[in-house]
Every structure is written in C-alpha cells, then in structure tokens.
Copies of this chain bind each other. A is one copy, B any other.
Amino acid sequence: MNVSHASVHPVEEVPTTEGGVAVAEQQNVNVPMVVRMKDIQGMPGTVGGLALRVSQFVFGAAALSIIASTNDFSSVTAFCFLVAAAGLQTLWSISLAITDIYAILVRRSLQNYRLVCTFTIGDGVTSTLMFAAACASVGITVLIDNDLDNCSYNHCVQFETATGMAFICWFTTVPSFLLNFWSLASR
C-alpha cells in the first residue's frame, strides 16, 4: 500500500488506496499532520494545483506564440530552444491540468507514489529546460539591446516580452516541482 506510514492508522480502515484520505476526512477521522501535508493547495489534484498548471500553460503558450510570431527567431539558436522548451512545457502543463480537472471532478486523490514521482521528474525536467531557455534568451536580448544597441533592426520588444513570459512560466512551475518533491520526501 503506497500511502502507508507508521503513524497513519485511519487509512487502513478504508477499502480503497487513492480515495483514503478524502473518505477519512468525510468520516471526521483524526488524520495526522503527515497526511494533511499532502492536501495543501498547489499539489496535484487540488484547485491550487490546477491554477498553477493553467498559469504555466497560459504563459508558456504566450512565450511560444510571441517568439514564433517574429520572422527571424530561427536564426538564433537560443530562441529556437525557447520555442522547443515552451512547446514541451505547454504540452506537459495542459496534460497535468486535464488530470487535475479529472481528479477534482471525481474527487480522486493523486497522491499515489508513482504518480507523484512522475510529476516531480516531469516538473523538474520541464522547469529546468524552460529556465535554461529563458536565461539563454535573456542573454541574447540584453546583448542585442544593451551591449550592441541593435534594436533598430531586431524585434527587441517581442524577444523581451517572450523572455518575460518564459520567466513567469518558470516561476509558476517551481512551486509545482517543490511541492511534489516535498510530498515525495515527507512520506
């Protein structure tokens, strides 16, 4: 049983694994703090988690569409990397958002060990790629704008806006990763 823990006795009294905590709460069973930690907002299957996923999708898609709307992004490797990373991030976030909506609608807990492990690794990889792409892009943008002062024949505004969106997207990915990692470690 994946959610078993020395101090979590009430979970053993309910028949299913994944719905254990929700059923225990409905029955007003005194659930210890270790299990309560798993239900804090921002984790998978909560409204806060869904809000984070939707934000990630919106800002990732914004970064992707803004950078792709310029005709010369493909001449700079960092911007191509940003397109790829933002594409991967939006696909990952929309998948997890759909999973969260499903979990909220059918009141199912997503605190299964393998699921949380998958979410943690996925969030870690996508957020690292997104941050790397955003940093590489900001390096190029600052070079063009500040160091070379070359904005007259470059799409500086689009590049800077897309980079900003990528950073906001990363900021909303980090809480998802940290909360999942915390949930994994506190078992």
Contact = CB atoms under 8 A, between A and B. Distances in A.
A51 to B, nearest CB: 22
- Give the bracket for the number of chain A residues in contact with chain B: 20 to 34
A77 B138 CA distance: 10
A143 interface: yes
- Copies of this subunit: 2
Contacts of A75: 147
A59 interface: no
Among A75, A139, A146, A186, residue most surrounded by chain B Cβ atoms (within 10 Å): A139
A111 interface: no
A58 interface: no
Nearest to A136: B139
